[in-house]
Amino acid sequence: MSILDLEERRIAPRFEVALPGQLTTEANHLVEMVVSNISSSGVQLEMQQHEMPHLLPNDHSQNTMSPVGVKLSIDLQDQLDTIHIRCGVVYVQRKSHSHCIVGCRFEKFYDNAGPRLESFIANQR
């Protein structure tokens, strides 16, 4: 493996998707995003770079070990089913001048979203 290769950190397999949705920051700012891959432990999403100050404000954090929390609303199966999940931001990476990639781990599922997501992922295999 080359030093430039990304090391896979998720134990669960990832599935490439293009799921539209919204990210809600801790300050209740809404950000349009697209989930680009998903697993049973987290998601990778793409969003506009100019939204980054809302996601990661330059504030002094009391707990630097706790990830920034966000709520994701993800449209599954051609928007026939929307799930809501609380996530922690694990990493941020610039993709281009206008877009960035955000990796999130799942922390809490709302309204039976866990089994619905599990069913969606099972259909991706």
Cross-strand bridge partners of residue 70: 87
Residues 6 or more apart whose Cβ sits within 8 Å of residue 30: 22, 23, 24
Residue 1: pLDDT band (50, 70, 90) is very low
- Give the per-residue pLDDT at 8: 47
Cα separations (Å) of 48 from 29, 75, 87, 100?
13, 18, 19, 6
- pLDDT tens for 51-66 read 998 888 765 555 556 6
Residue 6: pLDDT band (50, 70, 90) is very low
Domain ranges for the chain? 15-55+65-114
What's the CATH fold of domain 15-55+65-114?
A: Thrombin, subunit H (2.40.10)
- Give the per-residue pLDDT at 54: 86
pTM reported for the whole predicted model: 0.81
d(C-alpha 52, C-alpha 115), whole Å? 31
